[in-house]
């Protein structure tokens, strides 16, 4: 009988007697009765301390798939502070590390296993004091972890039993390959290594060969599915001239004012501009996250949006990976993603978990509609949406504001130029070609009557 045949009959209660009863009790309190497919297929091997490579769509439940076996192993081994670190979990971003840590904290509610979060943006001395105590489970980002492995003598990893590399493809895309290699050199060889990734490409396979034993278990969920996104996701595209995008977004957020919406932009400066416009001038309930914010500000925005019942989160792709924000109703891709993988990760912030539903829309100019066919080649299928005409008075209000408000004009100019830079550098130049973009109309989307000077587009 195959794993696919067994999966529909699985419940967490079937693990009674196989994992610590406190874990099962906490899972019930968290509302989990049945494992997801990746959990059901991966956990039997992870509980046997096998090396494993797991590939599954975003939102499939990978976090609990590796946390449950890791915690259970340390309990069975009797880990205490004197044993030092028994498990390290590597995450590509601070937000994903924080989210993993929050799930871990809930799982350890009634279990005395020491644990800590070590990420950039926090004071290093605080990290050192935590590590000196002997943290059994460390959740970290690559740069900060490698720093401590190289400089913190009291970081005791000699008893390490498990290394978990989460979102491996994102780690490599973000330029952390040297960090991960450096980390591997500092850790004991005799350990279980677990690698989870939404996609498995050659770079991930190379990392797996370096990090894992010679015979890892491969788990692939929905590898041959007809769609690359989950079934509960309703997704489409809307053809919107570039100069009408702001008015469309205003209408969209007004329509969804009782819902939770995530809006993706191509740059930090574009997030800042749109955030200020809607927060200050439209009195909308909005928050923002991007990579140039302080760690404290990102954490505050993330927690605030997790707890919120409604409102909008304006963000860059720093929020596209792994973040498990409950009850997101709509994903709006205001600016195009760089490739189909980023599209999939963006829309993966909604319709998460079993029987969940969500909606997504991407704005495209008429000249960009070919992107829909491009996505179809990656098993992503979009409906064509109609929203009606955006309100003209919002555009007039925006242009008047930019004329009269010096602060907003500066933000608008920075956002416009960063939008053009991102568009100019888009990998899919056959579809997103800066030469086919009317700069005057594009500048109107940022409230300008006249196009600001753009020196980096001058012909050579």
Domain ranges of the chain: 3-220, 233-457
Cα separation, 145 vs 182, whole angstroms: 10
| pLDDT at res. 222 | 61
Query: Residue-wise over 236-249: b if at least 16 C-beta within 10 A, else e?
Result: ebbebbbbbbbbbb
pLDDT tens digit string along 189-232? 999 999 998 878 888 888 988 899 878 999 988 644 556 677 78
| pLDDT at res. 8 | 58
Q: Which residues make Cβ contacts (< 8 Å) with residue 352, sequence separation at least 6?
A: 59, 230, 324, 328, 358
Percentages helix, strand, coil for the chain (3-state, rounded to 5) are: 45, 15, 40
| pLDDT at res. 232 | 83
Backbone torsions φ then ψ of 362, nearest 5 degrees: -120, 135
Please, which pLDDT band fits residue 146 given cuts at 50, 70 and 90? very high
Lowest model confidence (mean pLDDT) among 109-118, 143-152, 384-393, 432-441: 384-393
- Identify any residues that bridge with 138 across adjacent strands, giving them in sequence order: 88, 116
**Mean pLDDT for the stretch of residues 17-46:** 93
| pLDDT at res. 227 | 66
340 vs 117, residue with greater confidence: 117
CA dist list (Å): 144 to 90, 128, 147, 369:
10, 11, 5, 42
| pLDDT at res. 225 | 56
- Identify any residues that bridge with 260 across adjacent strands, giving them in sequence order: 311
Task: Report the percentage of the chain scoring pLDDT > 70.
Answer: 94
Expressed in angstroms, the distance from the first to the final Cα of the chain is: 65
pLDDT at 354 over 60: no
Mean model confidence pLDDT for the chain: 90
In the structure encoding, which two tokens stand for residue 229, read together?
Answer: 């996104």
**Mean pLDDT for the stretch of residues 303-319:** 94
User: What does the chain come to in residues?
Assistant: 460
| pLDDT at res. 171 | 87
Assign domain 233-457 to its CATH architecture. Answer: 3-Layer(aba) Sandwich (3.40)
Lowest model confidence (mean pLDDT) among 3-17, 98-112, 150-164, 257-271: 3-17
Task: Report the percentage of the chain scoring pLDDT > 90.
Answer: 71
pLDDT at 352 over 80: no
104 vs 55, residue with greater confidence: 104
**Mean pLDDT for the stretch of residues 138-150:** 95
**Mean pLDDT for the stretch of residues 346-368:** 87
| Superfamily (CATH) of domain 3-220 | P-loop containing nucleotide triphosphate hydrolases (3.40.50.300)
| pLDDT at res. 67 | 97
Helices 392-404, 406-424: inter-axial angle, 10-degree rounding: 110
| pLDDT at res. 228 | 67
Cβ atoms of residues 171 and 142 within 8 Å: yes
pLDDT at 460 over 50: no
| pLDDT at res. 356 | 75
Cα separation, 419 vs 411, whole angstroms: 12
pLDDT tens digit string along 277-299? 999 999 999 999 998 998 889 98
**Mean pLDDT for the stretch of residues 96-110:** 94
Q: Reading across the β-sheet that carries 115-118, which strands appear in turn? A: 115-118, 137-140, 87-90, 162-165, 192-197, 52-55, 217-220
pLDDT at 302 over 50: yes
204 vs 276, residue with greater confidence: 276
pLDDT at 266 over 50: yes
Whether the domain at 3-220 and the domain at 233-457 fall into the same CATH topology = yes
């Amino acid at each position: 009988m195959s794993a696919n045949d067994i999966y529909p009959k699985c419940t967490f209660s079937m693990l009674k007697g196989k994992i610590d009863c406190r874990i099962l009790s906490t899972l019930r309190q968290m509302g989990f009765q049945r494992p997801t497919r990746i959990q059901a297929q991966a956990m039997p091997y992870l509980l046997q301390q096998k090396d494993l490579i797991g590939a599954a769509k975003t939102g499939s439940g990978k976090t609990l798939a590796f946390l449950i076996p890791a915690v259970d192993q340390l309990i069975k081994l009797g880990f205490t502070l004197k044993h030092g670190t028994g498990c390290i979990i590597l995450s590509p971003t601070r937000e994903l590390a924080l989210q993993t840590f929050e799930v871990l904290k809930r799982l350890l509610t009634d279990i005395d296993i020491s644990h800590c979060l070590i990420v950039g943006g926090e004071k290093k001395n605080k990290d050192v004091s935590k590590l000196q105590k002997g943290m059994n489970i460390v959740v970290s980002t690559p740069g900060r972890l490698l720093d401590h492995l190289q400089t913190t003598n009291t970081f005791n990893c000699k008893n390490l039993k498990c290394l978990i590399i989460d979102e491996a493809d994102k780690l490599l895309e973000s330029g952390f390959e040297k960090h991960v290699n450096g980390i591997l050199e500092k850790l004991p060889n005799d350990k279980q290594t677990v690698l989870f990734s939404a996609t498995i490409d050659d770079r991930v396979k190379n990392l797996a060969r370096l990090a894992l034993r010679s015979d890892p278990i491969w788990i692939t969920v929905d590898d041959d599915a007809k769609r690359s996104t989950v079934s509960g996701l309703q997704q489409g595209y809307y053809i919107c001239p570039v100069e009408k995008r702001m008015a469309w977004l205003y209408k969209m957020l007004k329509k969804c004012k009782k819902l939770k919406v995530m809006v993706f932009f191509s740059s930090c400066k574009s997030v800042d501009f749109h955030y200020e416009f809607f927060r200050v001038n439209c009195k909308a309930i909005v928050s923002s996250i991007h990579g140039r914010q302080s760690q404290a500000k990102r954490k505050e925005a993330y927690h605030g949006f997790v707890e919120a019942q409604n409102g909008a989160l304006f963000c860059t792709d720093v929020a596209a990976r792994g973040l498990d924000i409950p009850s997101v109703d709509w994903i709006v891709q205001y600016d195009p993603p760089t490739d189909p993988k980023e599209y999939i990760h963006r829309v993966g912030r909604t319709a998460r978990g079993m029987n969940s539903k969500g909606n997504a829309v991407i704005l495209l100019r008429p000249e960009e509609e070919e992107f829909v066919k491009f996505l179809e080649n990656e098993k992503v299928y979009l409906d064509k949406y109609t929203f009606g005409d955006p309100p003209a008075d919002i555009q007039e209000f925006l242009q008047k504001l930019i004329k009269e408000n010096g602060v907003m004009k500066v933000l608008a100019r920075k956002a416009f130029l960063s939008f053009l830079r991102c568009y100019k550098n888009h990998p899919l130049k056959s579809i997103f070609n800066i030469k086919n973009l009317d700069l005057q109309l594009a500048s109107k989307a940022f409230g300008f009557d006249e196009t600001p000077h753009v020196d980096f587009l001058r012909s050579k």
